[in-house]
Amino acid sequence: MLHVLLVAAAAAAAVGEDLPPTCDRPVYCDSDLLHYVQTARLFPDSKTFVDMHMRDDPEDILEAFDNLLNSTQRNPTKEQIKEFVDEHFFMESELESWMPPDFEENPPFLLGIRDEKLRQYGKDIHAIWPSLGRKVRSTVLDNPSRFSLIPIDNGFIIPGGRFREIYYWDTYWIIEGLLLGGMTETARGMIENLIELLKKLGHVPNGSRWYYQERSQPPLLSAMMFKYIRKTGDLPFLRENINHLEKELNYWLDTQIISLNIGGNTYSLLRYYAPSKGPRPESYIEDYNTADNMKSEDRKQEYYTNIKSAAESGWDFSSRWFINDEGGNSGNLSTIDINNIIPVDLNSIYANALQNMAYFEGLLKNPRRAMHWAYLAKQWRYNIEKVFWDEQDGIWYDYDMKNEKHRKYFYPSNVAPLWMGAIDKRVILKHSARILEYLKNSHGLDFPGGVPTSLIRSGEQWDFPNAWPPLVSIVVNALEALGTREGKKVAFDVAETWVRACRKGFLENKQMFEKYDAEVPGNYGAGGEYTVQSGFGWTNGVVLDFLAKYGRTLKAEDSLGKNDSEK
């Protein structure tokens, strides 16, 4: 029954060539105005324009721009375009500072950190939350059609830097940190905001901007709810929102599922797939220029779909999504082909979401519903083991549908099934020694500044030498999930290396960054489409998690009084 349902859903998802615009707000997503402004390069960062506010109603602005095009034979100068933007748009924050009402300077978890320097570090990071607190201004609520920001009701924590809105998967690690600090009201408000977006759009978008409308991010909403419920026992909140959690799972089944045949057996799993017209509005000129050398309009649109799908993955961008002519992962953005890759981490997250639903329905005294979700979770775990596990190497890999083979490269996502509990315990017991051996032999754990995103120096920001907090978190929690003494020791070592590196950067810069350099402890990462961002929500959450988990034994320095980077 399940198999038939999934295959039918996969077939339905593949039908239809008429792609929607990136969003239903033309000024920001699908208009001559967007194209001319972004290709004129009025701003160093393409995100600047699509975050600006309209002085007039969108219909009037679009009509006025049509008049400009007509009067200039569709060839306005850069100065004319700039004058138009200055006349009809302005830059002022749609958000106001917001003090989380449940913030306390000295949360109890700090007492569990024995090392005084690390305890102070934990306190300093916890103290960052108020500086990242925001609430939507009333002007946005009063006239929402003039803004790209999607209004939400509750105050929230932004990631930081250029990211001045909610981002979906960032919120998972932010909530981890908030819950550790006893900020359960703020965490609940964050979850409510995501559910509000889900109700408006039918899914949780990449971020709370209209130009993210047609793509999501790793579906961690149920995992956030799980952490919140385990901390608070707030069953009325769960009961109020259980149907919305189910709605998100159905969205992924309806839109992202695909079936593949391996060894004569058919398996249905998820991929990232975000088809919509044209470049990403927030990175318009970057996408447009890359596609400009492609021969046909169909090829350009294929590229745009792949680039948006990679943004949906959160790994924007990485050699992980490159498929060259030989089926390898070398190349550049023109070789991005994520739509032909079945990601192990996405499917692990989804299996976990199914299991969470079983747990939630059990809490709500709905045993038949709980059994239904538990059965689906078991089926998904089975598919994960059959499709992603590589018996030769002793690890899970992404699967390349185009070349019908595993993607045999080191990425922290390879251990995502452990992180998300997407593998049965008996299977973990069977594989644990080989998984640990793989990680050690990969050399991915050997760097003094953290676990790198890959071992490929591609120039993309989700590649070597950058180390990203969520991926370090995945590795540490995966090692813990092995359940072995050696696995726990390696997890501790990775966590301690990361905490020391982040602390070094904090002491030198008084900032927490979104990514770091695995080769140089404390240095911020580089590459990609924008400069490094400070703040930073998920970095704070991951470090606080490690401090809380290992605080009794973590040390800021070794026995000689030096941190790892100074040895």
Q: Distances in Å between the alpha carbon of 326 and those of 121, 407, 507?
A: 48, 12, 45
Tokens 């492609």 correspond to what residue? 294
Whether 191 and 84 share a structural domain: no
| Tens of pLDDT, residues 146-191 | 999 999 999 999 998 888 899 999 999 999 999 999 999 999 999 9
Whether 144 and 78 share a structural domain: no
Among 94, 124, 149, the domain-final residue is 94
Q: Quick one: average pLDDT of 89-112?
A: 96
Strand partners, 135: 96
278 is a domain residue: no
477 is a domain residue: yes
Q: Quick one: average pLDDT of 497-525?
A: 96
**Other Cβ atoms closer than 10 A to 116:** 9
Domain count within the chain: 2
Whether 208 and 228 share a structural domain: yes
**Other Cβ atoms closer than 10 A to 446:** 11
Question: Can you give the pLDDT at residue 3?
Answer: 38
pLDDT at 18 over 90: no
Whether 49 and 157 share a structural domain: no
Q: Which CATH number characterizes residue 366's domain? A: 1.50.10.10
Whether 552 and 439 share a structural domain: yes
Question: Can you give the pLDDT at residue 561?
Answer: 57
Tell me, what amino acid is at 139? T
116 is a domain residue: yes
pLDDT at 13 over 60: no
| Tens of pLDDT, residues 48-75 | 999 999 999 999 999 999 999 999 999 9
Question: Can you give the pLDDT at residue 1?
Answer: 32
| Tens of pLDDT, residues 333-359 | 999 999 999 999 999 999 999 999 999
Question: Can you give the pLDDT at residue 163?
Answer: 84
Residue-number span of the structural domain to which 72 is assigned? 31-94
Tell me, what amino acid is at 261? N
Whether 50 and 135 share a structural domain: no
pLDDT at 6 over 90: no
325 is a domain residue: no
Degrees (nearest 5) of the Cα angle 488, 348, 243?
120
Active site residue 316: yes
Residue pair 197/204 in contact (Cβ under 8 Å)? The answer is: yes
Nearest to residue 28, comparing CAs of 44, 51, 45?
Answer: 51
Question: Can you give the pLDDT at residue 10?
Answer: 39
> Which residue in the list 94, 287, 316, 400 is annotated as catalytic?
316
pLDDT at 7 over 80: no
The string of DSSP codes covering 435-497 is HHHHHHHHTTT--TT---S-S---SSTTSTTEE-HHHHHHHHHHHHHT-SHHHHHHHHHHHHH
426 is a domain residue: yes
Residue pair 220/249 in contact (Cβ under 8 Å)? The answer is: no
Whether 378 and 457 share a structural domain: yes
> Which residue in the list 94, 282, 400, 514 is annotated as catalytic?
514
Q: Quick one: average pLDDT of 450-472?
A: 97
Whether 89 and 169 share a structural domain: no
283 is a domain residue: no
Among 53, 77, 94, the domain-final residue is 94
pLDDT at 328 over 70: yes
Q: Which residues contact 151 (CB under 8 A, 6 or more apart)?
A: 136, 140, 141, 144
Whether 36 and 121 share a structural domain: no
Whether 154 and 42 share a structural domain: no
Among 65, 94, 123, the domain-final residue is 94
Q: Quick one: average pLDDT of 18-43?
A: 96
- What whole-number distance in Å separates Cα of residue 135 and Cα of residue 132? 10
Which of these ranges, 114-123, 259-268, 399-408, 552-561, has the smallest mean pLDDT? 552-561
332 is a domain residue: no
Percent over 90 (pLDDT), the chain: 92
Q: Quick one: average pLDDT of 237-266?
A: 97
Active site residue 254: no
Tokens 């083991």 correspond to what residue? 385
Q: Quick one: average pLDDT of 261-286?
A: 97
- What whole-number distance in Å separates Cα of residue 563 and Cα of residue 554? 12
Question: Can you give the pLDDT at residue 11?
Answer: 36
Whether 256 and 381 share a structural domain: yes
398 is a domain residue: yes
Tokens of 416: 């995502």
pLDDT at 480 over 70: yes
Whether 214 and 71 share a structural domain: no
| Tens of pLDDT, residues 366-398 | 999 999 999 999 999 999 999 999 999 999 999
Question: Can you give the pLDDT at residue 560?
Answer: 62
Q: How confident is the model at residue 8 (pLDDT cuts 50, 70, 90)?
A: very low
The rounded Cα 325 to chain-centroid distance in angstroms is: 28
